[in-house]
Structure 1
Amino acid sequence: MSKPFVTLKPSEQAILNAAATIYAGYVAGGKVPDGAEKDWLRRSLKEAIALAQLTDESVMADGEFD
């Protein structure tokens, strides 16, 4: 049986970490019912992406100066 192989770039890793933190909060808060884990994982990822996009729009990072 082959093992899955995943390579994430640093920005993807950051979004994954945020999504995992968001999901953990939902689990710890008792929001994730049995059988609905995948839906809540998707929700957490969408929220992490939205946060990343809002951050990108709101903050000028190193090297983005005009």
Structure 2
Amino acid sequence: MTDETPAQRLRLALEMSEFGVRMYRMRMRRMYPLASSTDLDDLVASWLLSRSGTGEAFGHPSARFA
């Protein structure tokens, strides 16, 4: 494990979040190939607003950044 500063860890978390949003948008593009960019924006926004942000993932919580 490297000695990362809090700023580096935050930057990594934000990059991972942005990557997840891009992946979801690509998934929606595959599922709805005729959707406009606006439609895709709406799908992504709806998905983001529906998430609780409280660790919805399956599995055990990580202590990596604790």
Name the TM-score, length of structure 1 as normaliser. 0.52
> Percent identity between the aligned chains?
7
Is 1:39 paired with 2:36? no
* Range that drifts further, 16-25 or 38-47: 38-47
Do 1:23 and 1:41's aligned partners in 2 also have CA atoms closer than 8 Å? Answer: yes
**Unaligned segments of structure 1, at least 5 residues:** 1-7
For residue 31 of structure 2, what is the amino acid of its counterpart?
G
How many residues are treated as equivalent by the alignment? 55
Relative distance call for 1:32 and 1:19 in structure 2 (3 A) is farther
Q: 1:1-66 to 2 correspondence within 5 Å?
A: 9-30=11-32, 33-34=35-36, 35-46=38-49, 50=52, 53-55=55-57, 58-64=60-66
Check 1:42–1:63 CA distance in 2 against 1; reply closer, same or farther (3 A cut). closer
Unaligned runs of 5+ in 2: 1-9
Structure 1 runs, 4 residues or longer, greater than 6 Å off:
none
Calculate the TM-score normalised by the size of structure 2. 0.52
